[in-house]
Structure 1
């Protein structure tokens, strides 16, 4: 399938998350009020904030599709990374809020009355739906190499865990373990913060031109094995949105013609594109110096 079609599917995955979040938020806010569950209502507000995060990711993906212009010679691909960063900040704010609320309730002895079972049913149904959305978006993120969609998928998983925690708290309250509800919120809030931190670190690494050393070493080894390449003098790589930009300096026999040297460079480009789907490989060719040995 063409790359453009997969990017369209990635955008569809984000839109699906937005639609599901809106439906779940409305259902949880209504059910939480009717059943007297603060946890389910908080989960509903959490989903509404996720709508904002997912919308930011979708806008970032749309901007990333714009072609390069005078002010953006490398294109707009990093708009996706910026949207992932925004999603991480929103997730962290939600996680901190859940942790603070859970810790406060735990210190004050929890709720005085148990919520209705309806709230637990709504929470578990929401968790099941979000797990399905998480699996679908994770698969799409892997196939499209979309960092933004991967961030959305992690947020989907966090929301599923929030809903499970809300259900556990309600069940505990029904069993007169009123402390279990705030404890579950505290644990879930910590998980959300951890997920947000991972998304932030991964995105920050990309935006500062960080790259996997092992992957770069593998590129170097493969290029060095290309016929005509005497040595790989230097190799650098960075990520622009979903695309990898590779910069390589190779050394070839100084007696080769310009045409032959160019053919070797073309072969390196083809290799990187076929094996790793790298569409931008910039190659600089240097001549190998031959020492004139005289007895």
Structure 2
């Protein structure tokens, strides 16, 4: 159904890097989610009242919370699409993350309330009336929730939306919890055991876990998470595709919401090249990044001496040497200052956050190894953590 509706309602639907297309997908999935969850709530609430089952009623209110979550997600996508203004020059894209966080809060609140009701049912059990109609409603609900999981996951991956993928996981946990309620109804029918309250508690725990997952997925980009390694690879490939650029470092990706990225990086260029020609190359690379990845890019040129063979050999020697300190260490901005008593090797080193060493420890280890090299060399090194892995 989503595929069919997207063909009818979303212009240029395959251009998923476009903020307008992403917003259209979010709006469509949010609207369908609201409609389906309201129908499920009505059916399950009726089944819960008919059977007197707290587990079925809990599952109904779980769907009502999902309808509210879909409404918040839909609103978030709409607000995130507002154009940049004086107060928000990079747009309003992070509202999508905030809406996801609000959804997580609503799910958490619903889970706590349903857990309290289920505990009360455990302490004060009541007989549950078996009903074929209620059983049929729950079975149909499992099928609907599986469908919602499938389309939310597909669209979430297609448009790279953390909020949509969190909604998909919520639908999958709903499927499991509804199936548990269905099994509980059958157990009660066949054995007479009062398991309704316990299954209601399991449903509440599913809801709380969904809240945790949703909060984690949306809070991380708000705090400033590392960029997707695939995106980093694409950026590097585009920048290094021109032979003028001999290296890339200090790449930083600023996330202002899905489809709204600001990139800054340093591009190493020959120190003795034509400055005007190299500036034109950098301008073209920035335009290519905008066209292919829909991101604003600011590139700083770093001159590198590519003509002096002795400096090139020293750079390669030091690059191998620093890997003895930490295999993941890399260097950049390498230059040599000659002196009468010794030569200074001046460079920066990049240390991933995953390393067990501190920048100070790495810098001292590098200085010691450079001092032990053949010749009279001193390392003037700055070690910094990498923004990307």
CA deviation vs aligned residue, 1:225-266 (integer Å, no higher than 9, x gap):
442223323111132221233221222122233432234324
Give the counterpart of 1:112 among 104, 110, 127: 127
Residues of 1 paired with 2:31 and 2:108: CA distance?
A: 22
TM-score (norm 1): 0.86
| Correspondence list, 1:96-245, <5 A | 96-106=112-122, 108=123, 110-176=125-191, 178-212=193-227, 214-215=229-230, 218=233, 222=237, 225-226=240-241, 227-243=243-259, 244-245=261-262
Give the counterpart of 2:268 among 243, 247, 251: 251
Q: CA deviation at 1:79?
A: 0.7
Instruction: Flag the 1:126–1:113 CA change in 2: closer, same or farther, 3 A.
Output: closer
**Are 1:63 and 2:55 an aligned pair?**
no
Residues of 2 paired with 1:214 and 1:198: CA distance?
A: 22
Look up the match of 1:49: 65
Give the counterpart of 1:25 among 36, 41, 46: 41
Residues of 1 paired with 2:338 and 2:93: CA distance?
A: 52
Instruction: Flag the 1:143–1:220 CA change in 2: closer, same or farther, 3 A.
Output: closer
Ranked by relative contact order (alpha carbons within 8 Å, sequence separation 6 or more), the top structure is 1
Moved more, 216-225 or 129-138: 216-225
Residues of 2 paired with 1:97 and 1:257: CA distance?
A: 69
3-state SS of paired residue (2:262): strand
Contact 2:23 2:78 in 1 (8 A): no
Q: CA deviation at 1:220?
A: 7.2
Q: CA deviation at 1:278?
A: 4.5
Residues of 1 paired with 2:173 and 2:237: CA distance?
A: 39
Q: CA deviation at 1:221?
A: 5.3
Contact 2:115 2:204 in 1 (8 A): yes
Q: CA deviation at 1:63?
A: 0.7
Look up the match of 2:27: 11
Contact 1:114 1:178 in 2 (8 A): no
Q: Tell me the matched-pair count.
A: 293
Question: Which sections of structure 1, spanning at least 5 residues, go unmatched?
Answer: none
**Are 1:95 and 2:111 an aligned pair?**
yes
Q: CA deviation at 1:132?
A: 0.4
Q: CA deviation at 1:103?
A: 4.1
TM-score (norm 2): 0.67
Contact 1:119 1:170 in 2 (8 A): no
CA deviation vs aligned residue, 1:41-96 (integer Å, no higher than 9, x gap):
22222222222221111111001111100010110101100000011111122233
Moved more, 8-17 or 176-185: 176-185
Contact 2:26 2:74 in 1 (8 A): no
Residues of 2 paired with 1:190 and 1:33: CA distance?
A: 22
Residues of 1 paired with 2:82 and 2:263: CA distance?
A: 21
Contact 2:239 2:285 in 1 (8 A): no
3-state SS of paired residue (2:191): coil
Residues of 2 paired with 1:250 and 1:6: CA distance?
A: 31
Residues of 1 paired with 2:276 and 2:76: CA distance?
A: 42
Contact 2:54 2:196 in 1 (8 A): no
Give the counterpart of 2:51 among 31, 35, 52: 35
Where is the helix percentage greater, Structure 1 or Structure 2?
1
Give the counterpart of 1:285 among 291, 294, 301: 301
Q: CA deviation at 1:294?
A: 11
